[in-house]
């Protein structure tokens, strides 16, 4: 099994937990986007193509797919992130550990939100600057 397929499977199952997607195709597209982002380590959507399984034959087909997803009014971002954040907080709480988190966001082209995060665990802080983790 290719690495991207394993990552996709893990991302899909993680996003599916607490997901309120009515149309599972949205979950599939988001999972491939996250997989490609992690695998390519790039925000450039043109670099995601080698990491995605699809019947698309041209690079702009992939980009149209991502744009359709991002422009889709039926995909509510808060319904994606809130359950994930709550699950992460719950996991930390169950372990009895304290998590310090600072978030700074930047909106790019009035369309994409770039998130800078500062994670603190046992007072050791890791700056995740300009990286998607």
Question: pLDDT digits over 27-56, tens only?
Answer: 888 888 888 888 888 878 888 888 888 877
Structure tokens at 74: 């039926």
- 114 or 35: which carries more pLDDT confidence? 35
d(CA 119, CA 66): 29
The confidence band for 131, taking pLDDT boundaries of 50, 70 and 90, is: very low
d(CA 27, CA 41): 21
Domain ranges of the chain: 1-71, 77-128
- Which of 30, 38, 63 has its CA nearest to residue 49? 63
Lowest-confidence segment of 18-22, 44-48, 53-57, 114-118 by average pLDDT: 114-118
Read off the pTM: 0.61
Sheet bearing 99-108, strands edge to edge = 99-108, 112-121, 124-128
Contact yes or no for 118/102 (Cβ under 8 A): yes
Q: How confident is the model over 61-107, as pLDDT tens digits?
A: 888 888 888 888 887 777 777 777 777 778 777 877 766 666 667 77
Structure tokens at 122: 């046992």
pLDDT at 101: 65
């Amino acid at each position: 099994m290719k690495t991207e397929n394993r990552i996709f499977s893990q991302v899909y199952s993680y996003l599916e937990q607490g997901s309120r997607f009515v149309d599972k195709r949205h979950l599939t597209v988001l999972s491939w986007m996250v997989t490609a982002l992690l695998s390519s380590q790039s925000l450039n959507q043109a670099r995601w193509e080698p990491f995605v399984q699809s019947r698309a034959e041209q690079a702009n087909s992939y980009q149209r797919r991502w744009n359709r997803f991002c422009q889709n009014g039926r995909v509510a971002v808060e319904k994606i992130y809130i359950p994930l954040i709550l699950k992460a907080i719950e996991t930390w709480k169950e372990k009895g550990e304290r998590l310090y988190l600072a978030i700074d966001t930047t909106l790019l082209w009035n369309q994409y939100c770039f998130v800078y995060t500062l994670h603190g665990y046992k007072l050791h802080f890791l700056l995740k600057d300009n990286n998607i983790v």
